[in-house]
Structure formats: C-alpha cells, structure tokens
Amino acid sequence: MSTSDDSPILVWFRNDLRLLDHPALVEAVERSSAVVPLFVWAPDEEAPWEPGKSSRWWLRHSLESLADELGSHGLDLVTRPGPSDETLIEIADEVGAQGVFWNERVAPHLRERDESVAQTLEQEGFDVRTFESRILHDPDEVQTTSGGPYHVYTPFWKKFQKVVDVREPLSFPDLETVDRPAPSLSSVPLDELFEVGSQEGLAEAWTPGSAAARDRLDAFLEGILEGYDASREIPGDDGTSRLSPYLHHGELSPAMVWEAVQESDVVQSDDDPESVETYLQEIVWREFSYHLLHHYPETDHQPLKDKFEAFEWRNHATQLERWTRGETGYPIVDAGMRQLQEIGWMHNRVRMIAGSFLTKDLLLPWQEGAAWFWEHLVDADIANNTMGWQWAAGCGADAQPFFRMFNPVSQSERYDSSGEYIRRWVPELRDLPDDAIHAPWNAASSTLADADLTLGDDYPEPLVDHSKARERALEEWRRIK
Ligand SMILES: Cc1cc2nc3c(=O)[nH]c(=O)nc-3n(C[C@H](O)[C@H](O)[C@H](O)COP(=O)(O)OP(=O)(O)OC[C@H]3O[C@@H](n4cnc5c(N)ncnc54)[C@H](O)[C@@H]3O)c2cc1C
C-alpha cells in the first residue's frame, strides 16, 4: 500500500448518489489528486431490508445518472459485486489507495455492517474516514431535558429548532483537478450486477438522478410550496414535494432541501409562512423517524409499545392479498394500493388510511404492511417506513392511539371530495357520481346501473363492515390495555 498524498482515495457511494453536498467526496478531493468513485452491490449485507423491487429500479437508474455525471468530469464510476469489505480491499490494492471514505448510513443494521467493514480495512492499513450527511441532527445530542430520546414529535420539533444549527450544504468538489487512477479499473456493468425489469409505471412517473431531483425541488419551491399547508392533504392534487425517493437515495441531502427552502421566493417574500413551517416540520418528521430508529433499533420488527407484543393480530392470507391488490371494496384504500403498485409511491394521507385499514379494520399485522410497502415503494426507507407503520397500528411513538380508527369513507369524503383520486386509480368507479364514489355499496341500484357497475363483479363488495370491524378491533385492544 502506498501512502503518498498522490495515492488514490476510494469514495464508496451508497445512498448518497449525488456530487453536491457530499462530504466524503469533498474530503477525498482535498486530500488526494486521484479519486476512485465506486459502488458495491451487496444486498445480502442489508438483509432483511435489502432493496425491494421499486428501490432496485430507482437505484439502477440513479447509478446510471451518477455515472454520467462523473463521466462528464472525467471520472469513471466503478461498479462491482460485494462482499463490500473484500471488494473494497481488492480495488484499494489494485490502485494502491491510501484510504476509503464514505458517508455514513444511519440505520442501525447498516451502521454495524459499516463498522465491521471499517475495521477490516483499517487492519489492512487503509485510512478510513466517514462523514455524516444523511440527517440534520445527532440522535445522541438531541435529548429530552431529563436526558434520553424523544417519544413525542412536538417537543422534538421544539428542541430541534432550539439546538440544531442546520449546516450549509457543501459546494461542488473541484473534480477538474482529479486524476483517473491508472490502470483503468474494470467494472461489472449495472445490468449484469442486478435485475430490475422494465417497470413501465415507474418509468412514466419518475426520473431518478440528482439533476431530476434538483428540477423537482425547484418546481416544488416555485409552484407548490405556497399553499402546501392545505394542498398536502389532497391526494388528487400534485400538492406535495415528491422528494421522498430523492431523499432516500441521497440524490438530495436534507441540508440541500433546507437551504433551498430558506432561499425560495416564498420565504424571501414571507408570502406563506404557515406552509413553510409545515414543510420544514415534515422534513423534521424524517429526522424524528431516524431518532427513534437509532434509539430503538428493534422497532423495525417489534412494537415500540411493549404491551402490543401481546396483541393478537389475525392471520388471513386472502384478506392480506386483497389489500395488496387494491381489492378491499373501500375505494380510497384501493386507490392508494393501486397507486403504490403502479408508480411505487402513495400519498401520505392514503398511506395512513391504508395502514389503518390493514391493522385496525382487518387486524392484520403491521409488519406485513411494512414488508409490502418496502418491496413496492420507490422511497422505501427503514426509518420512515417503520415509524409510519407503527404510527398507523397505534403501537409506536407519538402514534395514533389504537382506539382512534380512521373511517375510510369519511376520510375519503373529506380528502378526496370530488373523487378525483379514486377515479384516477380505480377506473371501474369512474362513472359513479361524487356522492356515491366513496361507498359504492350504499348507492342506489339505479346509480350503479347508470355507472354500468355490478358490485362483486366489476368491483368488490367491501371486505369488512367498518363499524363491526371497529368493534372487533376495540375488543382486542381492550384485552391488552
Ligand atoms: C404507513 C406509512 C409508511 C411510510 N413509509 C415511508 C417510507 O418508506 N419512506 C418515506 O420516505 N416515507 C414514508 N412515509 C412517510 C410519508 O408518507 C412520505 O415521506 C411522503 O408521503 C413522501 O411524499 P413527499 O416527498 O411528497 O412528502 P412531502 O409532504 O413533500 O414531505 C417532504 C419530505 O418530508 C419527509 N416526510 C414527510 N412526511 C413524513 C412522515 N410522515 N414521516 C417521515 N418523513 C416524512 C419525507 O422525506 C418527504 O419527502 C410513510 C408513511 C406512512 C403512514
């Protein structure tokens, strides 16, 4: 191993697929005139949370975009299969590297993997440096006044505002001075590294990559942020930022989003401070989810509230399958589940409704819902998904109490009053009038006939009666209470 300043530094890209605000890359470029950007495909090391099919699709396209961006600065992205430690050592040896730098991942099981990789590399004599850019707060630093983690969001948000000084994003590294190390390294082409299938619905809805991420951020700041406070609740509108997959894959860092919001016209002109505050709070919900997962690493599979360990979830494969396919007979739930299947994303309000329906109306385990979302979401994120599902099931921190159950019909009437969202994703209901679309089983037979709809044939009868399901759920909840 060579140790001169000219010997290369490997920069291990993971879910930080960007060049801006990339501390590991900036540091590598400052320390050496030769940098090797690389990606290692080692899904087994992420088990049981290896990327699902939609995440894999995103990852592939985002890596292609990163490779193009690096290529335009004269650098090749090296892509190889794992195991990570062996591959990193192999490449480091090949180029005579002095060290390996990376940005940390926050999920506990990945931290453990990274610590073990770092140890192996250090034993081999390589300089290992790691950097934080995934979240804005340090979960061990932000503590309640009595010490320890937060369990409730509002005090967490207040403390966050008081003690977290959101850092400015780093600027673009000076890549023009960086050399490609010789000999030129071989890569395994991405299409040989992992399969993604064609996924037309995803391709129509999304453009992965950091350039598209910045475009979407700009479009959000210019056209959606003003009014976000209200528009974010309407699933039929394009009323949220849709930045979640970009934040998950790291095409944007939260510091970049934070700064862009502060510099936006809406903030500068002080036109809609409520919407700005609400949006920043959403970004901090993401922080809260990482805070919780950091302190309660077992919550990806265990309820945070212990008493829920005694909760007797039902086991019903057919009902679970009907939920996954968007065939529950409750239009708002089915619209969400089909949106998820089609474009790998679901509106937050509908994630909450569909989650509540699975866990409270059907009494099926939240872990089943989390696993399905994991496989299908382009933004599948272990911290956010875990918190979202525990919230929906009533067993997490700051959760919707179990006894407070969403009524899928009144939620639908309130947030999709015109039925636009339902019509988009459940086209067989398109011709029903607005007042019948939320609960077709209550519609007069003439209304159904006019819409050319036969329940049980063109569209399912409801899987359960919500008021009876509610009673059943409350009974089970009282048993553990
Ligand atoms: C059951 C369930 C599962 C979920 N699974 C995931 C998941 O796997 N990955 C994921 O990123 N989000 C998840 N969420 C949170 C939320 O639904 C999405 O972050 C949001 O819908 C993304 O859309 P957006 O980027 O347009 O959000 P915006 O409203 O524009 O919010 C901006 C950003 O803030 C963060 N954010 C917003 N709402 C939340 C929230 N409730 N919790 C944590 N962070 C939030 C996201 O990073 C989001 O991109 C889940 C929510 C529920 C109820």
- pLDDT for 256-275, tens place per residue? 999 999 999 999 999 999 99
Distance 71 CA to ligand 1 centre (A): 32
CA–CA separation, 150 vs 147, rounded Å? Answer: 9
Please provide the distance, in angstroms rounded to a whole number, between the alpha carbons at the two ends of the chain. 62
- Considering only CA atoms, which residue is closest to atom 24 of ligand 1? 242
Q: What is the mean predicted confidence (pLDDT) over 401-428?
A: 95
Round the CA-based radius of gyration of the chain to a whole number and report it. Answer: 24
Q: What is the topology classification, in CATH, of domain 135-166+209-295?
A: 1.25.40
Token reading at 408 = 């899928």
SS3 201: helix
The reply to whether 313 belongs to the active site is yes
E-only strand ranges, 42-190: 78-81, 99-103, 127-131
> Hey, CA dihedral for 423, 426, 432, 434, is it positive or negative?
negative
Query: What are 99's strand-pairing partners?
Result: 9, 127
Of 282, 375, 413, 428, the active-site residue reads 282
Q: What is the mean predicted confidence (pLDDT) over 372-390?
A: 98
How high is the pLDDT of residue 154? 96
How high is the pLDDT of residue 374? 98
Distance 238 CA to ligand 1 centre (A): 15
Q: Which atom of ligand 1 lies at the shortest distance from residue 352's CA?
A: 53
Distance 381 CA to ligand 1 centre (A): 9
Q: Which atom of ligand 1 lies at the shortest distance from residue 283's CA?
A: 34
The reply to whether 372 belongs to the active site is no
- Considering only CA atoms, which residue is closest to atom 5 of ligand 1? 385
Of 41, 58, 157, 285, the active-site residue reads 285
Bridge pairing between strands 127-131 and 9-13: unpaired
How high is the pLDDT of residue 457? 97
Distance 378 CA to ligand 1 centre (A): 11
Sketch the domain layout of the chain as residue ranges.
9-133, 135-166+209-295, 306-480
- pLDDT for 314-336, tens place per residue? 999 999 999 999 999 999 999 99
CA–CA separation, 266 vs 227, rounded Å? Answer: 10
pLDDT band at 183 (very low <50, low <70, confident <90, very high): low
Distance 339 CA to ligand 1 centre (A): 15
CB contact at 8 A, 422 and 332: yes
CA–CA separation, 74 vs 86, rounded Å? Answer: 26
How high is the pLDDT of residue 437? 98
SS3 274: helix
Token reading at 210 = 């950091």
How high is the pLDDT of residue 116? 96
pLDDT band at 3 (very low <50, low <70, confident <90, very high): very low
How high is the pLDDT of residue 1? 45
Q: What is the mean predicted confidence (pLDDT) over 160-186?
A: 88
The reply to whether 323 belongs to the active site is no
The CB density around residue 318, as the number of other CB atoms within 10 Å, is: 8
The reply to whether 49 belongs to the active site is no
pLDDT score of 292 more than 90: yes
- Considering only CA atoms, which residue is closest to atom 22 of ligand 1? 244
Q: Whole-number mean pLDDT of the chain?
A: 95
Distance 181 CA to ligand 1 centre (A): 40
Query: Looking at domain 9-133, does it have CATH number 3.40.50.300?
Result: no
Q: What is the topology classification, in CATH, of domain 306-480?
A: DNA Cyclobutane Dipyrimidine Photolyase, subunit A; domain 3 (1.10.579)
Query: What are 13's strand-pairing partners?
Result: 39
Domains 9-133 and 135-166+209-295 share a fold: no
The reply to whether 27 belongs to the active site is no
Q: What is the mean predicted confidence (pLDDT) over 114-134?
A: 97
pLDDT band at 5 (very low <50, low <70, confident <90, very high): low
pLDDT score of 4 more than 60: no
Nearest to 350 by CA among 289, 277, 426, 264: 426
pLDDT score of 114 more than 90: yes
- Is pTM beyond 0.95? Reply is yes
pLDDT band at 79 (very low <50, low <70, confident <90, very high): very high
Q: What is the mean predicted confidence (pLDDT) over 279-284?
A: 98
Token reading at 455 = 């329940």
pLDDT score of 307 more than 80: yes
Residues with beta carbon inside 6 Å of ligand 1?
232, 240-244, 247-248, 282-283, 285-286, 289, 348, 351-352, 355, 373, 377, 379-381, 384-385, 387-389, 392
The reply to whether 282 belongs to the active site is yes
pLDDT score of 279 more than 80: yes
CA–CA separation, 134 vs 10, rounded Å? Answer: 19
